[in-house]
Amino acid sequence: MREVIVWLNWVALAFFIVLNGLYLILTILALRVLRRYPERLRALEISDAILLGGRPPVTLLAPAYNEEATCVQSVRSLLALEYDEYEVLVINDGSKDRTLETLIEAFRLTPTVRAPTADVASKPIRQVYRSKEYPSLWVIDKVNGGKADALNAGLAHVRTPLFCSIDADSLVERDALTRIVRPFLEDDRTIAAGGTIRIANGCTVESGAVTKVELPTSFLARVQVVEYLRSFLSGRVGWDAIGGTLIISGAFGMFKRSAVVSVGGYDHTTVGEDMELVVRLHRHHLEQKTPYRITFLSDPVAWTECPESLKVLARQRQRWQRGLAEVLWRHRVMLANPRYGVIGLLAMPYFFFLEMLGPVVEFAGYLTFVLTVILGAANGPYVTAFLLLALALGTALSLLAIGLEEVSFRRYPHTWQVARLMWVAILESVGYHQLHTWWRLRGLWAAARGTGGWGEMTRKGFGTPGSAATPTSSGAPPSGAPR
């Protein structure tokens, strides 16, 4: 028994070395990219002026299910975007609350007809609506079929060469479309681009836009701010630097319509439909030997409400882990396969062994560490190594992610805000991180058993005290706003 525990201890230490070491490499790569961000931004601003009026039309797909609390603010943010020509398609996926009625009342929707443009299967559509006040706003009401099915219903009605998938509970920054479309203009091989997601809890919202960035009041929401900074500014920027973008958040991503239609649209048999589509696009183009590019950008931003209760957050993280496992197992032929280049040799092994199976090793490591201490078998060097690798290095990586935010975007301009985020990053390592590992382990077990539904996300709404945001106005977007 003692020998087994010692062996597991070494496995856990090796896991923490590899995981944190690779994440440190990604952070360094991200630092190199983001350090040059101010110069690139100035060049892009000049490019935007040159390209003014030459951007392709875009359709925004916003699936909505029980989003009564946030849908109006979110749609107003979409109607106020700074872009030449675009449409908004909100897909009401059989909501049980007053999502549809709220949209009808707020935007003066009337029944109409819109012919499909592609043969993408979905649940039956009940009715299509169009706004009298904003002609570029459409709402598709359909039978409930899940998020992927709702996106497919929208995709079947897209008329533009590009479409952008967003969450109906998100607030997209007004210049976000202009920023996220750039890769498609710079390189015609681009078939997908992802943007950054930030936490709106605690922020001030005016006319559907975040006008003042503040930290959430609850610790649970603040720790998610740190998680999102680490995930997007360290992880995804780092992976993009080596051409290994494997995930584009379903909350904000732009795609070439023809590419997505050619692979059959979104897969409704997994809760990780956003990642599955990206992996399938990689696989399809690599197997067909068709030149393509999938990228991530750190400057286009969408703001979202994060859970502020342990119960809802646990459901979300279990679902994410289950989706990750479903996608990776479905496309396991790509794992360590040189046929798939960087994706097969680097990205897939990282996500398969360290992100998917990681919770098993990590949770076992915590248990064996406790047993080792209880049995009196822990010596000074081992305890020091475990604490450094499992806790201290992870904390350091979170602090580095906050530093990346400071050197590149400075969305939190006050010193006290940065100090609080750093304090949260330190506290995260003890208690919350272990609980998060347990949630991921349960999600992996659910995937192995083939059980678990989508789970509902309870929204407090932008403007509810102590939740997503505090509004100063609920006025309509500027007249003539495209969409």
Q: How many residues does the chain have?
A: 483
13 — pLDDT class (breaks 50, 70, 90) = confident
Determine whether 390 is exposed, middle or buried from the number of CB atoms within 10 Å of its CB (0-12, 13-18, 19+). Answer: buried
Q: Domain spanning 56-349+456-473 has what CATH number? A: 3.90.550.10
Q: Measuring CA to CA, how many Å separate 266 from each of 122, 247, 259, 456?
A: 10, 14, 12, 20
Q: Are 387 and 433 in contact (CB under 8 A)?
A: no
What gap in Å lies between CA 317 and CA 452, rounded to an integer? 12
Angle, nearest 10°, between helix axes 432-449 and 415-428? 60
pLDDT of amino acid 478: 33
What gap in Å lies between CA 116 and CA 274, rounded to an integer? 22
Residue type, 460: K
Q: Which residue has the tokens 């309509």?
A: 476
Angle, nearest 10°, between helix axes 393-408 and 415-428? 160
**256 against 409, higher pLDDT:** 256
Of 95, 90, 87, the C-alpha closest to 74 is: 90
pLDDT digits (tens, 9 = 90+) for 69-97: 888 988 988 999 999 999 999 999 999 99
Of 352, 317, 348, the C-alpha closest to 334 is: 348
Q: Which residue has the tokens 């559907």?
A: 208
Q: Which residue has the tokens 């393509």?
A: 292
pLDDT of amino acid 465: 42
410 — pLDDT class (breaks 50, 70, 90) = confident
